[in-house]
């Protein structure tokens, strides 16, 4: 764009400061109201399941999130140093922090602990990929409960959270981390090849899997399972029996039994219609040890919620406690709801009480009454230089519901924004 240097008046001092860095953004107006409402709804569901709030710091020592413990690669974390030259990171997810808290404050507890949180997380992804670097996660963690009931409850709760947010069409996929691990163990695949195989299965690269396996010496039956693994999704019993017939790994058999149990309980919750299985689901998070799940919907290119069992994570902080958790990315959920046009509200609402200076006392009294009745009311002293029409336009611009113009001691004009109607009311 060329700049016309003769037009000085186009330049506004400070305008180069208006934009935010890539990957972060302002959320304001109706979008902000919607986001907070969605977060609150999800959080309320968690509360109704007996989860209690916890807050952990926005930044912690790097070691809390390092390789085995974290969800994000080291190079994708925002790092900085404290005065003692320790490496700090802006948290890429919240789960390891909460595990640390549990190990610190509830070390002796043997019965279940339920904790939930809402917080920002940060991932230093590369630019121009259309990904936010700062998102809000709403999540819940359940400790000291290793039953299939706990697995099912978390999954059922996630379904309810998503339904409560207003989402109608979504899918929850469940899998088990031990299926792949058990199969690899049985096949005796080297660590290096395992990683390659994992990558191929994660990207559902069927032919790549086949090619890789042809270079290895493993039994035909297992080969069949690996090749078929990326396709094993949908109906649980069909998938399970396919794998069961072809493996002797105890680990895999246990995992399959667990999935069947969880599915049975989910039927009691009455949420089966939202659930499908994906036996090839391998989380990129190495800390998952049991059931893993992801939620998908239209209008958002990636999963909007993830979760799973991570019985080994707390151990890394010196306490042996089974755990299962889930996290909903509020920004993804919001995006999906917006794209699916599921928000009914179109304006922020609220009342403007317009009053002339001389009626201040009356206006304050009126405002107090209205607020006590639950109205969100904004006072506005009328300037003698502006007429009522200007204030009506202002209310339209700001998405208010109505303007009350206290014209006289004993009467006011009520302007309803949506209909444009004006009525005079006696007080």
Partner 1 sequence: MRYITFALAKGRLAKQTLGLLEQIGITCEEMKDEKTRKLIFANEELGFRFFLSKATDVPTYVEMGAADIGVVGKDTILEEGRKIYEVLDLNRGKCRMCVAGPASAREQLQNGSLIRVASKYPSIAKDYFYNKKHQTVEIIKLNGSVELAPIVGLSEVIVDIVETGSTLKENGLEVLEEICPLSARVVVNEVSMKMQHERITKLLEDLKGVV
Residues at the site binding partner 1, with contacts judged by CB under 8 A: 129-130, 169, 171, 173, 203-208, 230-231, 233-234, 276, 278, 296-303
DSSP designation for 126: P
**Exposed e or buried b per residue across 354-384, where buried means at least 16 C-beta atoms within 10 angstroms of its C-beta:** bbeeebeebbeebbeeeeeeebebeebebee
* Nearer to partner 1 among residue 279 and residue 319 (C-beta): 279
Q: Find tokens 């009525």 and name the residue.
A: 423
| Nearest approach, Cβ of residue 202 and partner 1 (Å) | 9
* Nearer to partner 1 among residue 28 and residue 207 (C-beta): 207
| Nearest approach, Cβ of residue 163 and partner 1 (Å) | 17
Distance, CA of 284 to CA of 265 (rounded, Å): 27
| Nearest approach, Cβ of residue 139 and partner 1 (Å) | 20
166: nearest Cα among 255, 34, 16:
34
* Max CA distance (Å), the chain: 93
Distance of CA 248 to the CA centre of its chain: 38
Distance, CA of 114 to CA of 108 (rounded, Å): 15
| Nearest approach, Cβ of residue 172 and partner 1 (Å) | 9
| Nearest approach, Cβ of residue 205 and partner 1 (Å) | 5
* Nearer to partner 1 among residue 227 and residue 359 (C-beta): 227
Q: What is the SS3 assignment for 138?
A: strand
| Nearest approach, Cβ of residue 301 and partner 1 (Å) | 3
**Secondary structure (DSSP) of 338-389:** HHTT-----S---EEEEE-GGGHHHHHHHHHHHHHTT--EEEEEPPTTS-HH
* Nearer to partner 1 among residue 93 and residue 278 (C-beta): 278
* Nearer to partner 1 among residue 49 and residue 206 (C-beta): 206
Tokens describing residue 158:
């996630």
* Nearer to partner 1 among residue 232 and residue 353 (C-beta): 232
* Nearer to partner 1 among residue 303 and residue 413 (C-beta): 303
Tokens describing residue 205:
């690269």
| Nearest approach, Cβ of residue 210 and partner 1 (Å) | 10
| Nearest approach, Cβ of residue 274 and partner 1 (Å) | 12
Backbone angles phi, psi at 393, to 5 degrees: -60, -40
Backbone angles phi, psi at 123, to 5 degrees: -130, 130
| Nearest approach, Cβ of residue 233 and partner 1 (Å) | 7
* Nearer to partner 1 among residue 199 and residue 362 (C-beta): 199
* Nearer to partner 1 among residue 33 and residue 303 (C-beta): 303
To the nearest 10°, the Cα dihedral for 329, 335, 341, 342?
A: 20
**Secondary structure (DSSP) of 193-227:** HHHHHHHHHHTT-HHHHHHHHHTS---HHHHHHHH
């Amino acid at each position: 764009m060329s700049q016309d240097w003769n037009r000085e008046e186009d330049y506004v001092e400070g305008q180069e400061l208006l934009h935010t860095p890539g990957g972060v953004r302002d959320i304001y107006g109706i979008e902000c109201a919607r986001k907070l409402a969605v977060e609150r709804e999800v959080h309320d569901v968690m509360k109704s399941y007996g989860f209690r709030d916890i807050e952990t710091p926005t930044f912690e020592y790097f070691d809390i999130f390092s390789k085995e413990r974290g969800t994000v690669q080291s190079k994708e974390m925002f790092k900085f140093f404290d005065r003692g030259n320790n490496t700090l990171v802006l948290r890429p997810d919240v789960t390891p922090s909460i595990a640390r808290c549990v190990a610190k404050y509830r070390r002796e507890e043997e019965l279940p602990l339920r904790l939930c949180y809402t917080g920002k997380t940060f991932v230093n992804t590369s630019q121009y990929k259309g990904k936010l670097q700062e998102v809000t996660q709403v999540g819940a963690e359940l400790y000291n409960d290793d039953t299939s009931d706990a697995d099912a409850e978390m999954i059922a709760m996630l379904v309810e959270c998503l339904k409560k947010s207003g989402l109608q069409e979504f899918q929850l996929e469940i899998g088990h981390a031990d299926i792949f691990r058990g199969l690899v163990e049985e096949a005796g695949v080297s660590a290096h090849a395992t990683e390659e195989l994992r990558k191929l299965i994660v990207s559902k690269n069927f032919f790549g899997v086949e090619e890789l396996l042809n270079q290895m010496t493993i039994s035909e039956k297992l080969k069949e399972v690996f090749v078929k693994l990326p396709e094993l999704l949908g109906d649980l019993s069909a998938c399970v029996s396919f794998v069961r017939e072809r493996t002797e790994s105890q680990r895999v058999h246990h995992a399959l039994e667990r999935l069947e149990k969880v599915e049975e309980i989910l039927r009691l919750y009455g949420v089966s219609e939202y659930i499908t299985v994906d036996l090839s689901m391998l989380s990129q998070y190495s800390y998952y040890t049991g059931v893993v799940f992801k939620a998908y919907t239209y209008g958002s290119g990636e999963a909007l919620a993830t979760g799973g069992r991570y019985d080994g994570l707390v151990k890394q902080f010196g306490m042996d406690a089974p755990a299962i958790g889930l996290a909903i990315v509020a920004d993804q959920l919001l995006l999906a709801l917006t794209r699916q046009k599921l928000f009914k509200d179109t304006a922020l609402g609220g009342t403007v009480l317009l009053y002339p200076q001389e009626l201040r006392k009356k206006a304050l009294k009126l405002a107090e009454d209205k607020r006590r009745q639950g109205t969100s009311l904004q006072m506005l002293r009328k300037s003698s230089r502006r007429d009522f029409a200007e204030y009506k336009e202002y209310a339209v611009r700001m998405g208010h519901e109505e303007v009350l113009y206290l014209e006289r001691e004993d009467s006011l004009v009520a302007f309803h924004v949506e209909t444009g109607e004006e009525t005079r009311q006696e007080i």
